[in-house]
A and B are shown apart, each in its own frame.
Chain A
Amino acid sequence: MLLSSAVRWTAGGLAEAYLMDGSDDEALVMRGRPGLLPGVVPAIELTAVRKLFGPVVAVDGVDLVVNPGEVVAYLGPNGAGKTSTIDMVLGLSHPTSGQVSVFGMAPRHAVRAGLVSAVMQTGGLLKDLTVLETVQYVAALFSGPRPVGEVIERAGLAHITQRRVGKCSGGEQQRLRFALALLPDPGLLVLDEPTQGMDVEGRHEFWEAIRKDAGRGRTVVFATHYLEEADAYADRVVMVRRGRVVADGSPAQVRAMASGRVVRATWPGADTGALGALEGVSSVEVRGSTVLVRSDDTDSVARYLLNQTSARDLEITAQGLEEAFLALTADDPVGAGAGRAGAPS
């Protein structure tokens, strides 16, 4: 990689975002984003980008720099603005305000120059063409594309070149989209939920193909809901929520951020107020007769539950990337209506 994650990482930013979670939207926005490197034209540069659809704010002031060679996961819940952002990077739509540039030029220009290509969430294929015809079709639209055979090989489609696209499985179609995206040999590859609807096996194969390719120094940005994908394949994770970047760092850093642990216990009629008032508790969630308490000090939560309440079946687990994801991207404090302590001071 061109950059060590330490250079990109801005100490304090994530912790701040985490601590202030849910209490103040402004505070969630990362400050001190990874900066521009002198002499390096960023693969993507978004400056104060906003995108409105009528009254809907899809992207709400995103600043983002992706440097060449990075593999970035763009993570966020449904409606976070991932696709809207990607559309602007691909020149499919224009920001309502702010600037988007790809390799220092307007997105549409970059597309015309074969510098950027994409596997789109809603980009379609023609069912009545064969796999081979589809690749030949798109190859003919670029000047100097990679050879059709090579691209088919790389995407793992060699055994089904004559198959009608309509007969291909979801995973095979996704690999076909990937093949199309490889044709211009782009400097930047954008993947919008590329493994959506694939089974575990399919996802594994798909990422194998991507990984082989990314080894060559291509910049890759992918949107995903699958945290394990971000964890395993990205060297940088950008989390978005309601059109804003709420966290930005290496997967390890994002995981570390969710340092607290979760106590799970069976306690019908749990006193959420009392739990929320305990030292270090960041959230309390009730699921039927089960209560989940997220806390920096799970020992004292456990002690309280066992000594002073009728709670039983205690379980204490560490938080993973998933919890970090939820903590940073949840619209409301976890557990509707549950008691909740303010940020630990």
Chain B
Amino acid sequence: MSSGTEVARVGPVERRPPPFGGLSLPVFVIEVRRLLRNRRTVAFTLVLPVVFFLIFGLNKAYASQRAGSGNVSAFIMISMALYGCVVATTGSGATVSLERAAGWSRQLRVTPLTPLAYILIKMATALVLGFFADVIVYAVGIATGQPSMPVHVWALSAVVVWLGSLIFGAFGLFMGYLLPSDNVMQVMGFVLWLVSFGGGLFVPLSQFPEAVRQGAKFTPLYGLNQIVHVGLNSTPFDWTWVLNVLAWLAIFVGGAAWRFRKDTARV
């Protein structure tokens, strides 16, 4: 009417729900743009693991010592890439807490978007930032010339770090739904720090007392940290690592989906 073009009268004409419950490329693209627009978060996420690598991964005292098929520097580089990736994906997932606080999730609930499609979009977005975190640590590693390991281990570990960190995208989502937005980032930072210690990312678990070491095996980063080092380490593959990863994945995804469904409360 306002545009002068002929418009049909509006009646109760039923339309097909969108394919894949609203999973769509434009939404993914806009989400990625949003994420990268937040320069402070991006910088913080990408810089910290690199700094850690430069401090610990180049330490003359042990960096060039042998570790499995490579050296300690390579081992630490993989750990730091994993840490960076995990911070990136968790942070991306946790942005839902801000969306909830803004009431955006309520707005989305009056569209055909399904919980699963939304979680998938968020995960894919988290992977983008995770990709940058992963690549930057490896790039810095190559630039310093210190880490050494077989070529296929470079490639394999980089990919496993990247995809494996996806679990923490789900973790971020879950926490984002669970915690109030004002302190979700701080809580998350602290939790990730603990979990990273538990997973043996910062200090090898062998340095801890036996009781702590046994408990650490049940923490969310333990299994993943073992798996990403598989190519490098000479220790045999242990299926309980996979079990650890899958169990936590199920908990995080299930938790996120459960909270999303409940998340219609007003703000």
Contacts and interface: CB of A to CB of B under 8 A. Distances in A.
Given A111-B110, A142-B18, A212-B2, A92 B10 contact: no
B104 A126 contact: yes
B34 A124 contact: no
Contacts of B38: 128
B24 interface: yes
Contacts of B109: 90-92, 111
B14 interface: yes
A265 B109 CA distance: 53
A143 B16 contact: yes
A129 B34 contact: yes
Contact of B12 (A83, A115, A117, A144): A115
A185 B27 contact: no
A120 B34 contact: no
B110 A217 contact: no
A187 B106 contact: no
A115 B99 contact: no
B3 A120 contact: no
A52 interface: no
Interface in A133-159: 133, 136-144, 150, 153-154
B267 interface: yes
B10 A141 contact: no
Given A83-B266, A124-B103, A128-B37, A141 B18 contact: yes
Main secondary structure of the interface of B (DSSP, over half): loop
Interface in B1-59: 1-3, 7, 9-19, 22, 24-27, 30, 33-34, 37-38
Given A138-B111, A140-B27, A122 B13 contact: no
A126 B11 contact: no
A43 interface: yes
Contacts of A150: 3
A184 interface: yes
B110 A216 contact: no
B267 A153 contact: no
A57 B16 CA distance: 36
Main secondary structure of the interface of A (DSSP, over half): loop
Interface residues of A, number: 55
Contacts of B191: none
Contacts of A144: 15-16
A218 interface: yes
Contact of B112 (A118, A141, A188): A141
Give the size range of B's interface with the partner. Answer: 35 or more
A273 B228 CA distance: 86
B102 interface: yes
A215 interface: yes
A339 interface: no
A142 B108 CA distance: 11
Contacts of B101: 124
Contacts of B26: 136-137, 139-140
Contacts of A125: 102-104, 107
A2 to B, nearest CB: 10
A254 to B, nearest CB: 27
B143 to A, nearest CB: 33
A143 B13 CA distance: 13
A127 interface: yes
Interface in A170-196: 177, 180, 184-188
B30 A136 contact: yes
Contact of A123 (B10, B24, B106): B106
B113 interface: yes
A285 B194 CA distance: 65
A120 B24 contact: no
Interface in B146-185: none
B13 A187 contact: yes
A154 B1 CA distance: 9
A140 B24 contact: yes
Nearest to A134: B30
B111 A111 contact: yes
Interface string A196-223: 0000000000000100110111100000
A125 B267 CA distance: 12
B56 to A, nearest CB: 35
A167 interface: no
A117 B7 CA distance: 19
B264 interface: yes
Contacts of B19: 143
Given A111-B112, A142-B112, A143-B19, A212 B12 contact: no
Given A113-B15, A123-B106, A125-B102, A137 B27 contact: yes
B10 A216 contact: yes
Given A114-B112, A140-B26, A68 B3 contact: no
19 contacts: A87-B266, A91-B109, A92-B264, A120-B106, A120-B107, A123-B103, A126-B99, A129-B34, A136-B26, A140-B24, A140-B27, A141-B18, A141-B22, A141-B27, A141-B113, A144-B15, A185-B10, A187-B10, A187-B12
Interface of A: 41, 43, 68, 83, 87, 90-93, 103, 111-118, 120-129, 133, 136-144, 150, 153-154, 177, 180, 184-188, 209, 212-213, 215-218
Given A113-B16, A143-B17, A217-B11, 19 more contacts: A83-B266, A113-B112, A118-B110, A121-B266, A123-B104, A124-B99, A129-B34, A133-B30, A133-B33, A140-B22, A140-B25, A140-B27, A141-B24, A141-B113, A143-B15, A143-B112, A154-B3, A177-B107, A187-B13
